[in-house]
Amino acid sequence: MATISPEGRVVMVSGAARGLGRAIARRLIDDGYSVSLGARDIDALRAAHEGAPEAGRLFRSYNAVDPATAESWVDATVERFGRIDALINNAGILRQFALEDSDAEDKLDELYRTNVRGPLTLTRLAFLHLRRCGQGRVVNINSLSGLRVGRDDFVGYSMSKFALSALSHATRKAGFGDGVRTTNLCPSLMDTEMVEALGAPEELKIRPDSVADMVSMLLALPNTASVAELPINVFNEPGY
Amino acid sequence: MGDRLNGKVAIVTGAGASGPGWGNGKATAILFAREGAKVFGVDRSEEAVRETAEIAKAEKIAFTLRVADITEPDEVDKLVARCLELYGRIDILHNNVGIFELGSLDKDRDYFEHVQRVNMTSMFLMAKAVVPQMIEQGDGGAIINLASVAATHYTGAAYSIYATTKSAVIGFTRAIAMENAAHRIRCNAILPGVVNTPLALEPIRKRVGADEFQKILGERDAMVPIGRAATGWDVAKAALYLASDEASYVTATEIVVDGGLTAQFG
């Protein structure tokens, strides 16, 4: 077999109620994975996945700024399925400020809490289970802003996403010996609710389904094919 | 891997060993985690507790380390808050921290108060921070305090100061147990005898030559009716029982883990 079968594997997806997280969750359900989905608004989460087969699904309230919800979500996942095979750190927020804005520090704290501390806590709590299964996968939904600084008002967003890149590579190194493969997945502008406010035309945004396909592929690759980083462009940018 | 503590969150103080090998706290922390507990291991020495964390990592069992001086109220409050932030609850408090010090009327007040602080004040502060949380959780809890047979028996060594702290542990244990029995918070003490832990052996090893050290090890074994000194694991296994639901009717008492040592004295 060139790929690992989804059968019996359990995947946690954070921020699965909307945008890219919803697309990833749907794709993984279609693939046949058992999914444990977390989001702030549990009703929106259920509504987003209505009609999907009941078996092999768990919905939990998860707020990236509240580590206790990370713990209870990880616990509930292990209690229900007995294992965790993959973690998709998808939950993230966008806050814009430029270098000279007076609210820079406050917005940076907010970005770090969700985009950096959130994935750190989830990874740490799930790591034991990912290591135990011998072929764990972590996909950190990052951004091209985690690899280069783009817009002037993305100072804090980029800082938080660079930090997430560091977490991705640290996770890859820490888990490699136990078969945990980690990918720093870095799409450019996507067609999701989060970036709606930026007002870019649809044809200049990546479709969430395209990224969900890539996540599906990353989970299926065997231990012998580790993808450390995956930048995804929509524009022709110098360097990327 | 067992399941006797599945789903429970345990704070173990003194979770690092003070030298090479297995101390009571290190063995207990690892045993609790092997039995399914999420262990929040505290030690004043980062080096010591990190070694315990490395063992847990290799065994793929749940252990989080925390460096703190638990004779300081601020540090105790912070570590308990951190444990709650991470795990949302505390089911087991294993008060293992303690130092063994020879010395009696030859010592001064500062020394006496130092040993009190490490061996007794630390337990008071930990219980003070954890018990209200256990009450709030509403489904009981288990507290285990490490005392010693020195609390009840004179075993031939001059350690009145150490004995005072360990007698205090027994009184404290019974009082905390009774004050909180209605909340189903159980509190018990363990009284180890001769235990070959790094804490007990390293000072001897540093003082004497290798041959002399082997001779002392032989003497320690010979002192005990059962024919051997205890290890940290003997203490850890008693702690596991007291921490588990198997001991749900056991409170305000002591378990002597001494291989028959004190029974000889009547």
Instruction: Note the pLDDT of residue A106.
Output: 96
Chosen for mutation from B6, B65, B82, B85 (greatest number of chain A CBs closer than 10 Å) is B85
**C-alpha angle with apex A164: A158 to A169, nearest 5 degrees?**
130
Whether residue A130 has pLDDT greater than 90 = yes
Mean pLDDT of chain B: 96
* B209 in reach of chain A (CB within 8 A): no
| Six-digit token string for A26 | 């749907």
* B1 in reach of chain A (CB within 8 A): no
Whether residue A54 has pLDDT greater than 90 = no
The shortest C-alpha distance from B13 to chain A (Å) reads 21
The shortest C-alpha distance from B84 to chain A (Å) reads 8
C-alpha to C-alpha distance for B150 and B248, rounded to whole angstroms: 27
Question: Smallest Cβ distance to A72: which of B60, B85, B88?
Answer: B88
Tell me B21's DSSP state. S
Question: Smallest Cβ distance to A67: which of B60, B62, B85?
Answer: B85
C-alpha to C-alpha distance for A67 and B87, rounded to whole angstroms: 8
Residue A240 CB: number of other CB atoms within 10 A? 14
Residue A50 CB: number of other CB atoms within 10 A? 6
CB contact (8 A) between residue B85 and residue A75: no
ipTM of the complex: 0.71
Question: Smallest Cβ distance to A132: which of B7, B60, B84?
Answer: B60
pLDDT digits (tens, 9 = 90+) for B182-227: 999 999 999 999 999 998 999 899 999 999 999 999 999 999 999 9
Q: Which of A127, A167, A122, A172 is nearest to A146 (CA)?
A: A167
Instruction: Note the pLDDT of residue A145.
Output: 95
pLDDT digits (tens, 9 = 90+) for B105-130: 999 999 999 999 999 999 999 999 99
For residue A178, the chain B residues in CB contact (below 8 A) are: 60
Instruction: Note the pLDDT of residue B42.
Output: 98
DSSP state string for A154-179: BHHHHHHHHHHHHHHHHHHHHHHTTT
Angular region, B95: left φ>0, alpha ψ -120 to 50, beta rest: beta
CB contact (8 A) between residue B86 and residue A71: yes
Q: What integer is the mean pLDDT of A192-208?
A: 84
| Six-digit token string for A213 | 């396909």
C-alpha to C-alpha distance for B262 and B260, rounded to whole angstroms: 6
pLDDT digits (tens, 9 = 90+) for B234-258: 999 999 999 999 999 999 999 999 9
Collect all residues with Cβ–Cβ distance below 8 Å to A141 and sequence separation of at least 6. Answer: A20, A21, A88, A89, A90, A92, A185, A187, A211
Give every strand in the sheet of A34-39, ordered side by side: A57-61, A34-39, A10-14, A86-89, A137-141, A181-187, A229-232
Report the DSSP beta bridge partners of residue B185.
Answer: B141
For residue B85, the chain A residues in CB contact (below 8 A) are: 67-68
pLDDT digits (tens, 9 = 90+) for B25-48: 999 999 999 999 999 999 999 999
CB contact (8 A) between residue A67 and residue B61: no
* B109 in reach of chain A (CB within 8 A): no
For residue B61, the chain A residues in CB contact (below 8 A) are: 128
**C-alpha angle with apex A193: A190 to A194, nearest 5 degrees?**
70
| Six-digit token string for A61 | 């309230």
